[in-house]
Amino acid sequence: MRIDAITLFPDMFSVVRDAGVTGRAHKQGIWALQTWNPREFTHDVHRTVDDRPYGGGPGMVMMADPLAQAVSAIRADRAGKQLQDAPVVMLSPTGLQFNQTTAARLSRSSGAIFVCGRYEGIDQRFIDQHVDEQWSLGDFVLSGGEIAAIAMIDATVRLLPGTLNHGESAVQDSFQDSLSGLLDSPHYTRPEVLDGTAVPAVLMSGNHALIERWRREQSLQMTTKNRPDLIQQARDKGLLTQADERYLRSLP
């Protein structure tokens, strides 16, 4: 099994690659790890991988193109080494919970391509076009996806035959939602049009009230689709407005 990790901080993965039972298993060839820095796939002097979000707001958004080129390079490298292709997995608060069942499924596969986001988020067009699955580690906020990826790698590698001397395992239930109690809305940054897909017009309007409502509705829609239990939690806590409830009733 080989894990590929797209990360701005490849040195962080030395923990799981070199230390403990996962490090020993790596040395024994039970599993392999390769890291890919998206800055290596930029074409400007500053090696830019992020930009300001359309529609305004705090933080920066990771650009789609360096990440997409990294994915292409990984797939070419795997094919050149006659390795099976692997799904692209983004570590994200909007993802499905990672638990022991997920770890077991990954341990039986050819591996995964982990995308470790940073900053405010990742351009939604990369997610729509390249990401196969989104996984969440827990109901808390991290500075980036690396720690979550490392935890998932650890949980998976220890299930590989030969890593442990016995069948010990730990069941892990993991949730994560946004600070508002709902999942986050999509993010977009430059370029305005990418492979024929444009940034939603509302984010270019300059109308901050419309942008705020659009983001709220996208958040409600994303949460209804991926984590409907959080909708009920938000309702129980009185976090949903009458406008929210009207929008939820309009969803198919």
- Residue 138: count other Cβ atoms within 10 Å of its Cβ: 16
pTM for the full predicted model = 0.78
User: Is 52 designated active site?
Assistant: no
Note the pLDDT of residue 180: 65
Alpha-helical runs (H) found in the chain: 14-18, 20-27, 64-80, 100-107, 124-130, 146-157, 208-226, 228-236, 242-250
At 228, list the tokens.
């409907």
Catalytic residue among 38, 66, 93, 186: 93
Residue intervals of the chain classified under CATH 3.40.1280.10 are 2-157
Which helix (H) or strand (E) is 112 found in, with range?
strand 111-115
**Residue 231 host element (H or E):** helix 228-236
Q: Given this model, what pLDDT does residue 138 score?
A: 86
Mean pLDDT by 10 residues, the chain (252 residues): 98 97 96 98 94 93 96 98 97 88 95 94 96 92 94 97 66 34 91 97 97 96 93 92 96 94
Catalytic residue among 132, 139, 173, 192: 173
Instruction: Give CATH for domain 2-157.
Output: 3.40.1280.10
For residue 77, what pLDDT is reported? 98
